[in-house]
Structure 1
Amino acid sequence: MSSYIIQEDKLRNFTEAVFKRIGCTEKDAALAADVLIASDLRGIDSHGVARLSGYIRLWEKKRINPTPNITIVHETATTATVDGDSGLGLVVAPFAMKLAIEKAEKYGSGWVSVRNSNHFGIAGYHALEAIRRDMIGFAMTNASPLVAPTFTTERLLGTNPMCYAFPAGKYPPVVIDMATSAAANGKLEIAQRAGKPLPEGWVQSNSGDNTTDPHALKAGGSLLPLGSDREHGSHKGFGLGATVDILSAVLSGANYGPWVPPFVSFLDPLPNLPGLGIGHFVGAMRVDGFRPVEEFKSHMDNWIERFKSAKPIDANQPLVIPGEPELEAEAERKIHGIPLVDPVVKDLNEMAKTLGIDGI
């Protein structure tokens, strides 16, 4: 499938224009665009501008408030719950992360749960904010119910990503950013656009059979938890996804489990929801609350070096430290531009035409 190469600045300006067109302030539009562009730069194409039309569809259905009044509804010295007022998760989550970091700076750690929000982009963007302050960062969110727990065919959990970010010294931070499902829904969307089959173990049909059909979800199938099936540890992925759901939503008062409002267009809004919007959970811990920062960073460097020296199975495929592929993609794309496949470009240009702004 052919692709276009778009320079970062051009794509950023286009994305900001889209968010401003739906009523976001200049500051919020720039922040929302930054989260999406960061995803594209880091090579996580499933969560970048390819998702932009999804936010617009939510706005058209009045499920996104472009000018939210984000408030703190419950608070202690080290914890808080934030209500996002149906704002873009791309804006609400940074507000919560900033609050967590402020609490950590004063008390050593800060933990913030979020309700009444929307899709917040890549978890890594938010966790990495803590790295800049010599802190360990955490970010997770629940999502539309597309994942069937082990031994079931019923979609009860989202892909529910989690991210942990650890600062290092002479090396880049270690960033563990992953879905708790076998694959993120965005990867299925990429396969659909490319007309390619899925790897085995990502999805199951509505009867619970394994399938490689990228359209299986739209036919009533489900994503599988991390681990794919019981014999390969899917109960562990189910447990991780459940943890994200509970911390993000049961704790905050957001919707959880099968009641999480959908982001994808083929799922209808649910009636009688028990909570408010999508939920997030973010946190930050000061490294010097445990030991001197430079000592920790020195040991992180040593950790990285030892793991990088692990004997590989294949000499052409050395061990990859979590976060390395994203950094390599970012270095490449900042120079040469961001690739977008034809269907994404077409989707963005059609959206631009509808909104009355210039395309890309």
Structure 2
Amino acid sequence: MHKNFSEETLRNFTKQVFTEMGCSEEHAELATDVLIQADLRGVDSHGVARLSGYYRLCCKGRINTTPNIRIIHETPTTATVDGDSGLGLVVAPFAMKIAIEKAKIYGSGWVSVKNSNHFGIAGYHSLMAVEEDMIGISMTNASPLVAPTYSNERMLGTNPMCYAFPAGNYPPVVVDMATATAANGKLEIAQRAKKQVPEGWIQDKLGNSTTDPDALKNGGSLLPLGSDKDHGSHKGFGLSATVDIFSAVLSGANYGPWVPPFVAFLDPPSDPVGEGIGHFVGAMRVDGFRPIDEFKQHLDNWILTFKNATTVNPNKKVVIPGEPEYLFTQERKQSGIPLVQPVVDDLNQLATTLKINGL
């Protein structure tokens, strides 16, 4: 069962939560926008359902709601940002703005980030560049829940990466994906719905395949994209490793098994190799390669060509990356954002704790 809430209702509620946590008006508004855009785009696992998680981390002193986000190393086209333990929802857009400004001058801009926290959906940050007729790239490492190929030890996060490209008459092409078989948030959705997950998503603590979404709580691990060694998991492992190195080894953040957990009841490792969680963002001017109008015209042609590809089932069309999220946004702006009852209950409990009006 779920209930629909208007975008305005959820924006007002979410902003109030962040304000009560101690965020400035500007930061509360930005953090709210990142979460609401996730819900609008149908990425329910990274929307307002995450609010209580951020609050609990704040209470544990692991999120600084008044961070001094700053550049600590810089060249004309690159920079490293120290997020000062701030909300990743605020730190990552700060970094992307720097990348965009550098790109405006030099053609491209690249920014690595350390000492941050969970940054929401990667697509939000990449799409900031698209708004400037640029190609946007964003990625982040995350809490270790994924076992590398041949292992049953949690060593990597779901480590999402996103590439976003501006189109002309069509929505942007947005390739936004976890480098694990599934994002942890999808397991949380299955747990709340009391449903099994598909074969190949997770393994138990002994390395046996299971469809029990609670296996992760009992010492199991997510699998890299590709599922197992016979279905290309080494490729998912390679992509996840790439994200970890760009996001953390490059910036000075924690990497691999040292990445702090998103949950407040687990303490970060006592022997950190860096500071906080790491991100990597980039922006490239399309007109650094060819005129923007030409690019958009040909990307439109690319989209149309793939959408018209012959399919095995004539009732189904090829889905362009980013298309489902665009359609979700159009629908949910009209009909509202659906929240399942456990999420509504959780948010109302948070409202009680903060002494604000609930949903």
User: Deviation of residue 264 (structure 1)?
Assistant: 2.8
User: Deviation of residue 128 (structure 1)?
Assistant: 0.2
In the alignment, which residue of structure 2 is the partner of 1:153? 152
In the alignment, which residue of structure 2 is the partner of 1:311? 310
Q: Secondary structure at the match of 1:217?
A: helix
In the alignment, which residue of structure 2 is the partner of 1:258? 257
Q: Secondary structure at the match of 1:189?
A: helix
Distance in 1, Cα, partners of 2:245 & 2:48: 29
Equivalent AA in structure 1 for residue 102 of structure 2 = K
User: Deviation of residue 265 (structure 1)?
Assistant: 4.5
Show the 5 A alignment for 1:35-184: 35-184=34-183
Work out whether residues 135 and 283 of structure 2, in 8 Å CA contact, stay in contact via their aligned partners in 1: yes
Work out whether residues 196 and 212 of structure 2, in 8 Å CA contact, stay in contact via their aligned partners in 1: yes
Q: Secondary structure at the match of 2:62?
A: coil
In the alignment, which residue of structure 1 is the partner of 2:8? 9
User: Deviation of residue 315 (structure 1)?
Assistant: 1.2
Report the TM-score when normalising by structure 1.
0.99
Equivalent AA in structure 1 for residue 132 of structure 2 = R
What stretches of structure 2 of length at least 5 have no aligned partner? none
User: Deviation of residue 268 (structure 1)?
Assistant: 3.3
Equivalent AA in structure 1 for residue 219 of structure 2 = G
Deviation per residue, 1:40-64 (Å, 9 max, x gap): 0000000001111110110010000
User: Deviation of residue 322 (structure 1)?
Assistant: 0.3
Distance in 1, Cα, partners of 2:149 & 2:162: 23
Q: Secondary structure at the match of 2:214?
A: coil
Deviation per residue, 1:120-168 (Å, 9 max, x gap): 0000000000011110000000000000000000000000000000111
Work out whether residues 218 and 266 of structure 1, in 8 Å CA contact, stay in contact via their aligned partners in 2: no
Distance in 2, Cα, partners of 1:265 & 1:60: 8
Q: Tell me the number of residue pairs that the alignment of Structure 1 and Structure 2 aligns.
A: 359
Q: Secondary structure at the match of 1:343?
A: helix
Distance in 2, Cα, partners of 1:171 & 1:21: 39
Q: Secondary structure at the match of 2:218?
A: coil
User: Deviation of residue 267 (structure 1)?
Assistant: 3.6
What percentage of aligned pairs have identical amino acids?
Answer: 72
Show the 5 A alignment for 1:189-200: 189-200=188-199
**RMSD between aligned alpha carbons?**
0.7
Distance in 2, Cα, partners of 1:286 & 1:312: 34
Work out whether residues 84 and 115 of structure 1, in 8 Å CA contact, stay in contact via their aligned partners in 2: yes
Report the TM-score when normalising by structure 2.
0.99
Q: Secondary structure at the match of 2:213?
A: coil
Work out whether residues 259 and 268 of structure 2, in 8 Å CA contact, stay in contact via their aligned partners in 1: no
Distance in 2, Cα, partners of 1:306 & 1:4: 38
Distance in 2, Cα, partners of 1:107 & 1:6: 43
User: Deviation of residue 223 (structure 1)?
Assistant: 0.3
Which runs of structure 1 show a deviation greater than 6 angstroms over 4 or more consecutive aligned residues? none
Distance in 1, Cα, partners of 2:254 & 2:72: 16
User: Deviation of residue 351 (structure 1)?
Assistant: 1.0
Work out whether residues 202 and 223 of structure 2, in 8 Å CA contact, stay in contact via their aligned partners in 1: yes
Q: Secondary structure at the match of 1:91?
A: helix
